[in-house]
Amino acid sequence: MTDVTLKINGETRSAAVPPETTLLKMLRESFSLTGAKLGCDVGDCGACTVIVDGLPVNSCLMLAGQADGREVLTIEGLATPDHLHPIQKTFEDCASLQCGFCGPGVIMSSKALLDANPNPSVAEIRDALAGNLCRCTGYTKMIEAVQQAAQVMRSAKSKRAA
Amino acid sequence: MTKKAKPARTAKAKSAGIGQPVEMSGTLRLPAVVKQVPFPIEALSPKVRQQTPAVGQRATRPDGRLHGLGQTKYIDDMAFPGMLYCKIKRAGIASALIKKIDTREAEAMPGVMAVITGKDIPVNSFGPSIKDQPVLADDRVFHAGDGVAAVAAVTEQIALEALDKIKVEYEPLTPIFDPVEAMKDSAPKVHPPVSNIYATKLIKKGDVEKGFRESYKIFEATYSTQMVEHVPLEPHCSIASWDANGRLTIHSTLGRITLGRTDMARTLQLPLSRVRMVATIVGGNFGGKNEITQEPALAVLSKKTGRPVKGTFTRTEEFIATTTRHPIIMNYKTGVSKDGRILARKVRLVLDGGAYCSWSETTLGKACILSPGPYNIENVHSEAFVVYTNKTMTGAMRGFGAPQVCFAYESQMDEIACELGIDPLEIRLRNAFHEGSSSPTGQVLHSVVVKDSLLQAAERYGWKEAR
Amino acid sequence: MRAFEYFTATDSKHAVALLAEHAPARVLAGGTDLLADLKSSPSHAPKTVVDISRAADMRGIEVNARGLCIGALVTHSEIMASTVIRDLFPALADAAHTIGAVQTRNLGTLGGNLVTAVPSVDSGPTLVALDAQVTIAGPAGHRTMPLSEFFVAPRRTALKPDELLVEIVIPAENLGKPAHFLKMGLRKGQALALVNAASSLRIDAKKNTCKDVRIALGAVAPTVVRAKTAEKFLEGRAATAENFAEAGRLAVADAKPISDMRASADYRKDLVAVLAKRTLEAACAQSKAAKQKGARK
């Protein structure tokens, strides 16, 4: 077994898993964090996207052991009991999620984008979401939601600064 | 057994003893409790003799909140106590007789709780119309994605390793892949002794030969489309469990659970009242989750082991072992007048049905009815055949054959317009259905807006300016 | 995935020792190719996986006396973000940007991309066009070889089972040599190249002629190939649109593409001519822009 200790959504957690366990499987089965989904299991669909040390990655392409000592943020770590994350709010407002299966991955990719680039162009959003496939909603409403969230996050930031 | 590279960075765990305030920011312990905007049902309900005011209104999706929180529970997010995992051994050969299946080595593996083959399924056939699909192929393989054995084990990993231990002896048969070839008498039969052509449709209106004689020009072409998989982001997944009274519950991501329920009752020889189907939230369907696949096998495994059994398809299985869109070979012969009016159209469609019928009859009918296009044509002859081949089965997918024929008749429309020197928009306007037009099957059509929508689209696109 | 044993290497030396100790083992760097392979092909399941992703000495991008040295574990995202690389070889950053999508670029490494050695390897052509060398660590120490010889066949390299690719070096004399990379895929994101191509050259400012021309093509032969006929043609010739177009046509001679479900061989040949021409033109423009910038200084 591989011993893994990592920080998930701000909390330190540990698990002992077989070496061939992916980060995705560990999140879903050892920690019951089922927000990240298994869609293709080979890094094409992005439904398993989580943020590791600030970068979005396919958790199906990372062994649990590789995540040892790292910081992982999953969709479950975005909202607080009182507040949705602005991206979650705008995705809801823009009806950007239809069946919703790709949603957690798309939102995590969007979060990583907006953390690094508070004012992305449409081309930059498309580039950031290229690794997230959606079959129902389509991408137009998602791009709309990311733009709106960027605006919300920018104005919140400038308010805080003032 | 495993070496650790370096001690993990240990972050201090936050203590949250009784009576102490819990620091919640940045962590998630509960789903967010932000008030949901109610779905404005009242505002949307029409009054008597009033057009519904829903059109044009913006409503929040009632399920959007949980989707965005990652809290929506799809079936693969569920687990029952003691649940086992099922994996299915795929044939990997397109056409063959199964001589022998040896599951002993797999059964002996620690962690393997049960292994079954087609012989263990009480009635090993199902299908929405023709019951030609085995749950697990028992004496003959019809396409490479056929399951031949199913394993239930305590982990997915063990189930997977057990598949390698199952030995299957095949006697290969000559497969047939080309639907046109498969129509010939000399072709190997996919389901002997039944003919490979398993459904046909013919629509006749007016006299096409007369129409062709009167035509200024006749256009003939063949169009073909490819097989398409639905690729829902959520793979097929079901969980089977039995209660102590011998009642079966299937949790499943299937779309048509009532139909699935009858199929389950039939394959398992159970009274309908003993089968309960629970539909879970669907992560994309598009017609690909319209019938059962592995569910009877899961039920049998669950009964054998006395434990709930979950089966989740891999992405590969989604492609090889679930239905796909029919590839169609479409011959179009169209006679037109000098001003581009269609006088006669003869269509011949060959649908590649793959190994099983599934929803082919529905697809065949719709493709055939829609094949002349949304145009006023006096003389129509449209015939369609759906044919067995040793390929992944084709079935329902958005449009049931309509997109394929649309590709053909619109392609030909452009070719006609180009040849006659008529604007592609104009030629469509000259032929398109209008209020009261009758379809090739004689249905009188109302609320016909083909021309309006064409004109509006042209205006918004800037059709004239672009030309 | 089938079960395997898992060892984590602290540095390249440790990794080589682990490979020798647990042969035959497979190396895990970014995992984007390895894990996908292990999941889809049970027969490829190894007994042991050696995780080198924490080998600190295989990271980093630096310019030293040998040239531009890129650690094998540098990810595609790191290449895109590196100011050193963007200053010296924007083509390398462009090539990295065409690989997979954000998530896979954050995991996938340059070394892994080269070791997997698919014919369409997107980081291959630019590096070959810049005469890159690779450093290989083994039980007997280090050896180096040109990247063009490192690729042996589809999915096969010169690496022995107990060896490790540790570093990629673009020689010092090529630092800042104008180069350009282009890729044609069926989509913008997550696409395999139908054809990819990179060219590098220097322009003699006085005579406006080309020298040190390199044209490298991917996805049109078992490995990345140089279009030597076209290179020879351009050497010493005037940097004109006609000559670049002719070089593009000649480049087709060195391409032996196959027809597959993505494109026909003929279509790929047409692409070779177009991409070779465009990369040459862009590299030439880069050279001229650099000179103007230098003149202004």
Question: What's the residue count for chain A?
Answer: 162
Question: Which CATH class for the C5-51 domain?
Answer: alpha beta
One domain, residues A6 and A59:
yes
Supply B423's token pair: 């604007």
Residue B207 maps to a domain: yes
Tokens 């079936």 sit on residue: B75
Residues 6+ apart with CB under 8 A from B210: B344, B379
Q: What is the pLDDT of residue B43?
A: 58
Sign of CA dihedral A29, A30, A34, A35: negative
Alpha-carbon Rg for chain C, nearest whole angstrom, is 19
> What is the tally of structural domains in chain B?
3
Q: Is the pLDDT of residue B29 over 80?
A: no
Q: Is the pLDDT of residue B259 over 60?
A: yes
Q: The domain spanning residue B151 has which CATH number?
A: 3.90.1170.50
**Dihedral-angle region of residue B333 (phi above 0 means left; psi in -120 to 50 means alpha; beta otherwise):** beta
One domain, residues B304 and B351: no
Mark whether A72 and A90 lie in a shared domain. Answer: no
- In angstroms, the CA B379 to CA B372 distance is 10
From residue C283, alpha-carbon distances to B199, B255, C79, C268 in Å are 61, 55, 19, 22
Cα B41 to its chain centre, rounded Å, is: 32
Q: Which of B61-65, B401-405, C49-53 has the lowest mean pLDDT?
A: B61-65
Q: Which segment of B319-328, B403-412, B438-447 scores lowest on mean pLDDT?
A: B438-447
Answer whether residue B33 shows pLDDT above 50.
no
Q: Is residue A162 part of a domain?
A: no
Q: What is the CATH number of the domain that holds A114?
A: 1.10.150.120
Kindly list the residues from chain B whose CB atom is less than 8 angstroms away from the CB atom of residue C40. Answer: 316
Is the same domain home to B426 and B306?
no
pLDDT (mean) for A124-134: 97
Helix (H, G, I), strand (E, B) or coil at B88: strand
Q: Which domain holds residue A148?
A: 86-156
Taking residues B47-76, report their average pLDDT.
Answer: 81
Contact by Cβ (8 Å): C33, C112: yes
- With 70 as the cut, is the pLDDT of residue B21 above it? no
Portion of chain C with pLDDT greater than 70, in percent: 99
Does A28 contact chain B (CB < 8 Å)? yes
Q: Do C40 and B316 touch (CB under 8 A)?
A: yes
- Specify whether B455 is located in the same domain as B360: yes
Q: pLDDT tens across C152-190, in order?
A: 999 999 999 999 999 999 999 999 999 999 999 999 889
Q: Per the structure, how many domains does chain A have?
A: 2
Using a CB–CB cutoff of 8 Å, tell me whether C98 touches chain A: no
CB contact under 8 A, A95 and B60: yes
> Residue A161 falls within a domain, yes or no?
no
C228-281 tens-digit pLDDT: 999 999 999 999 999 999 999 999 999 999 999 999 999 999 999 999 999 999
Q: 3.30.390.50, 3.30.565.10, 3.30.70.980, 3.40.50.300: which CATH number matches C179-292?
A: 3.30.390.50
Asked if residue B271 has a cis previous peptide bond (ω within 30° of 0), the answer is no
Answer yes or no: do B335 and B424 share one domain.
yes
The answer to whether B2 faces chain C, any CB pair under 8 Å, is yes
- Of A65, A75, A62, A152, the closest CA to residue A111 belongs to A75
Instruction: Show the tokens assigned to B249.
Output: 């519950």
CA B366 → CA B352, B361, B436, B440, distances in Å?
15, 9, 21, 12
Report whether B27 contacts C32 (CB < 8 A): no
Provide the pLDDT for residue B52: 65
| pLDDT given for residue B40 in this prediction | 53
A159: helix, strand or coil = helix
Q: Is residue A69 part of a domain?
A: yes
For chain B, say whether C51 makes contact (Cβ under 8 Å).
yes
Residues A65, A123 within the same domain? no
- Amino acid B42: pLDDT: 59
Residues of chain B neighbouring C45 (CB-CB closer than 8 A): none
A112 touching chain C per CB within 8 A? yes
Cα angle value C161/A62/A123 (rounded, 5°) = 115
Q: Is C129 left (phi over 0), alpha (psi -120 to 50) or beta?
A: alpha
Cβ–Cβ contact B6 with A under 8 A: yes
CA separation for the pair C249, C241 (Å, rounded): 12
B321-359 confidence digits (pLDDT tens): 999 999 999 999 999 999 999 999 999 999 999 999 999
pLDDT of residue B18: 38
Q: Are A113 and A67 in the same domain?
A: no
> Out of 3.40.47.10, 3.30.465.10, 3.60.20.10, 3.10.350.10, which CATH number does the structure's domain C57-174 have?
3.30.465.10
CA distance linking residue B228 with residue B76, whole number of Å: 24
Tell me what pLDDT residue B26 has: 45
Q: Which of B308, B327, B311, B301 lies closest to B389, judged by CA?
A: B327
Mean pLDDT of chain B: 91
B16: number of Cβ within 10 Å? 12
Residues B316 and B448 in one domain: no
pLDDT, average across residues C284-294 = 87
Query: What pLDDT is attached to residue B24?
Result: 41
Q: Are A16 and A55 within one domain?
A: yes
Task: Tell me if B62 is assigned to some domain.
Answer: no
Residue A75's pLDDT is what?
97
Between chains, do A101 and B24 touch, taking CB under 8 Å as contact? no
Best of B28, B83, B158 to mutate (most A CBs within 10 Å, chain A): B28
Read off the pLDDT of each residue in B307-333 and give the average, rounded to a whole number. 97
Q: Does B122 touch chain A (CB under 8 A)?
A: no
Mean pLDDT of B182-201: 97
- Same domain (yes/no): A46, A22: yes
Residues B209, B207: Cα–Cα separation, whole Å = 6
Whether B346 and B460 map to the same domain: the answer is yes
Q: What whole-number distance in Å separates Cα of residue B252 and Cα of residue C292?
A: 67
Q: Does C41 touch chain A (CB under 8 A)?
A: no
* Chain A with chain C: Cβ pairs closer than 8 A: 89
Lowest mean pLDDT among A85-89, B175-179, B440-444, C292-296: C292-296
Give the pLDDT of residue B385.
98
A90 and A152 together in one domain: yes
The strand order across the sheet containing C164-171 reads C61-64, C67-71, C164-171, C133-138, C141-146
Are A92 and A71 part of one and the same domain?
no
Contact (CB, 8 A) for B405 and B367: yes
Query: Nearest CA of chain C to the CA of A98: how many Å?
Result: 23
Over residues A62-83, mean pLDDT? 94
pTM of the model: 0.92
Q: Is the model more confident about B61 or about B37?
A: B61
Angstrom distance (rounded) from CA B84 to CA B276: 20
How far is Cα B414 from Cα B332, in angstroms, rounded to an integer?
A: 13
Cα–Cα distance measured from residue B371 to residue B383, given in angstroms and rounded to the nearest whole number: 9
Same domain? For B359 and B459 the reply is yes
Distance of residue A123 Cα from the nearest chain B Cα, in angstroms: 22
**Residue C67 and residue C170: Cα distance in Å, rounded?**
6
Q: Is residue A19 part of a domain?
A: yes
Give yes or no: residues B458 and B339 share one domain.
Answer: yes
pLDDT for A146: 98
What share of chain B in percent tops pLDDT 90? 85
Residue C32, CA atoms < 13 Å, CB-side half-sphere: 29
- The pLDDT assigned to B466 comes to 85
Q: Which helix (H) or strand (E) covers residue B412, if one does?
A: helix B402-420
Three-state secondary structure call for residue C42: helix
Q: Are residues B202 and B283 in the same domain?
A: no
Q: Is residue A39 part of a domain?
A: yes
Q: Are residues B263 and B135 in the same domain?
A: no
Query: What are the residue ranges spanned by the domains of chain C?
Result: 5-51, 57-174, 179-292
Chains touching B by CB (3 or more pairs below 8 Å):
A, C
pLDDT at B13: 37
> Which of C1, C8, C40 lies at the smallest CB-CB distance from B4?
C8
Residue with the two structure tokens 């027809």: C259
Please tell me which chains touch C, using 3 or more CB pairs under 8 Å as the contact test.
Answer: A, B
User: How many CB atoms are closer than 10 A to CB C249?
Assistant: 16
Q: Does residue B359 share a domain with residue B307?
A: no
Neighbouring chains to A with at least 3 Cβ pairs closer than 8 Å: B, C
pLDDT confidence of residue C188: 86
Residues 316-375 of B with CB under 8 A from C: 316
Judge if B215 and B334 occupy the same domain.
yes
- Please identify among residues 172-191 of chain C the ones whose CB lies closer than 8 Å to any CB of chain A: 188-190
| Final residue of a structural domain among B152, B172, B192 | B172
Q: What pLDDT is stored for residue B58 in this prediction?
A: 72
Written as six digits, the tokens of C67 are 């040239």
Q: B97 lies in which domain range?
A: 84-172
Q: Cα–Cα–Cα angle for B53, B56, B58, nearest 5°?
A: 100
In whole angstroms, give the CA distance from residue C122 to residue C193: 7
Q: Say how far apart CA A109 and CA A149 lie, in whole Å.
A: 13
Helical H runs in chain A?
23-25, 86-93, 103-116, 122-128, 140-161
Tell me how far apart the alpha carbons of residues B450 and C82 are, in angstroms, rounded to a whole number.
55
Mean pLDDT for all residues in chain C: 95
Which CATH number characterizes residue A73's domain? 3.10.20.30
Q: Tell me: the pLDDT tens digits for C183-238?
A: 999 998 899 999 999 999 999 989 999 999 999 999 999 999 999 999 999 999 99
